[in-house]
Amino acid sequence: MPLLLFVIFVTVQAALLFLGNQAASAAAREAARVARTSHDLGAAEARGHAYAEEVGRGVLEKGITVRVTAVNGDEVRAEVDAHGIQVVPGIPGLHIHQVVQGPVEEFRPDL
């Protein structure tokens, strides 16, 4: 019975870690989207953090960090760091890190 309970808790922990990764990835994509279209890195970080808190409710703990940086002037990089909810005490590896990088969008009129 204890082994069965342990397996169940580890399975739940793995599912929560997967959901946390998906939430962090969605937040990084949202932050990168805002940075790519508006060219405002501060607004992109704020939107990514708000999105992570909204989507990650229940699977990400407080202390989510979102960093958006410009890369080579023509790309942006959004990084989200968070910690997943811990169900089984003592199981390491609950740190979640997601990165999204993409080109900055520009409007070019028809010639």
Domains, the chain, ranges and CATH? 2-103 (3.10.450)
Q: How far is CA 76 from the centre of its chain?
A: 15
Over range 65-90, report the average pLDDT: 89
Task: Tell me the per-residue pLDDT of 82-108, one tens digit each, with 9 for 90 and over.
Answer: 998 888 777 666 899 999 999 988 877
Give the bridge partners for 81, in sequence order.
65, 97
Q: For residues 69 and 31, what is the distance between their CA atoms, to the nearest angstrom?
A: 10
- Rounded to whole angstroms, what are the CA distances from 46 to 37, 54, 79, 97, 102? 15, 12, 13, 17, 18
Question: Which pLDDT does position 51 carry in this prediction?
Answer: 94
Task: Tell me the per-residue pLDDT of 50-61, one tens digit each, with 9 for 90 and over.
Answer: 999 999 888 898
Query: Helix (H, G, I), strand (E, B), or coil: what is residue 53?
Result: helix
